[in-house]
Structure 1
């Protein structure tokens, strides 16, 4: 398993494996299956791949030295992936080796590094620092960062 990433979407648990596929457990039927990754994904070419949920769809975030590609599974049955966004990482070049996506919506992508939380605003293509550890910290910031879903607890 790839960093034990698990995403719950479409009534199933999904794990990104080290063998260029996604392992799926359908919780309704108790059936395991394998799902293909996008054909154009740079898996195994030095790119880092992360799996998240995006608007109730399975999503992959592919990070290279200079680009972040966001893939979304548009057709679950046919396993058809769309490249939803292609983001330049030029503005945060020095942070790219340690960056890790923690959550995303159709408007924002939240990423963490050892000492910072960054937000990328997808509509206006702007990067902002949301949080930074100013003093020493015993654990990396991303170690305690978790994805937030509004369905867990209403803020109203």
Structure 2
């Protein structure tokens, strides 16, 4: 659970902004922010439902949609321009939502929120995360990987 998320493993979700490009086809470049429906429109092919898909899966779907009827050998690339945010609250200087960054760990997330507040616990940290439609809470430490949409709670120290 503490290993970094590889780009190929990242599942797209509502709030992510992506860019789809087709090599040597500038008219087939689409930038889209994924809304709650998860539907992205792309020229010449039907709308694509992409929530829960990897960028590689979207590339394959667009490539297959363009193959043959429109292009002989389309080279498709999908990249995430902006990730959906993570949220941190509790005993930090500046609680709120922050843009996700690749390879983000809890120590960096706390730094983005201005550091721990005076009364913050040094170890009672929790992350609420949703995966595959299920929400769960994990005990976290400074090296725990933070993902987009995570909700981090820094508890108050009693000593």
Q: Which has the larger radius of gyration?
A: 2
Q: Give the TM-score of the pair, scaled to structure 1.
A: 0.25
Higher relative contact order (CA 8 A, sep 6+): 2
Structure having the higher helix fraction is 2
Structure having the higher strand fraction is 1
